[in-house]
Amino acid sequence: MHVSSSPGAVRALVVLGALGALLLTGCQGAPGGGSGAADPTGGRAATSPAPVRTSGYGAVFLAVDECSSFGRTSFTEVPCTGERAAARVVARHDGTVRDGPRCPATTDFVLHISEQRPSADEDGDGTVPRGYACMRNLQPPHPGDPGGGGGPRTIVGDCVHDLGDGRVRETRCDGEGEHAPQYRVTKAVDARSKCPASTALYVRLGGTSPVGCARPV
């Protein structure tokens, strides 16, 4: 199993004042603060799942509303009422993040589950299929919330800072992150022409409203 939860770099089109100078940049990257490649799905780029030791608890491994232990690269499924429970599954899909459905907007991080053939699995068929679980922390902080500075998706209410070389990355809007916020996404639309006149940055979000309209903080 492998997890990707850190905010990644996003690309955007920056409009600089009346001169209309443009800085071309694009999308989101993987779940921690390092640079990430643009992800055409609108989520942060996820690394390939890598096998790790796992242990199932429920009838299906990490089904919706079940919980995982602490740990992002090696983790187990645990009772949600137990002291080891850290996050709850809000959506679960087979396959890969790139090819599958998007996680809910306020997902805090994604657990990537590589295909396993353990001696005991959730349904007794000898395999745990490759997939991914969209996770929400049981307790704050919630980096996937608007302005939270993380999560696998950039959404309305999130802030970004300039990385240089035409790239930006999500950061906390309250200024408590490693980098101060420079722009806030105020609206999601289906075309740049529908953004307000005050828009200074266009961020590709993906989905049915793929353009994020951002203005200086």
Contacts of 153 (CB under 8 A, 6+ apart): 28, 42, 43, 44, 102, 103, 105, 107, 144, 205, 206
pTM summary value: 0.70
Q: Give 71-124 pLDDT, tens digit per residue.
A: 777 788 999 999 999 999 999 999 999 899 999 999 999 998 876 544 444 444
Cα 216 to the chain's mean position, in Å? 23
Asked, as a colleague might, if the bond just before 146 is cis with ω within 30 of 0, I would say: no
Confidence of residue 166 (pLDDT cuts 50, 70, 90): confident
Q: Give 132-143 pLDDT, tens digit per residue.
A: 999 999 999 999
Select from 215, 216, 206 the least CA-distant residue to 8.
Answer: 206
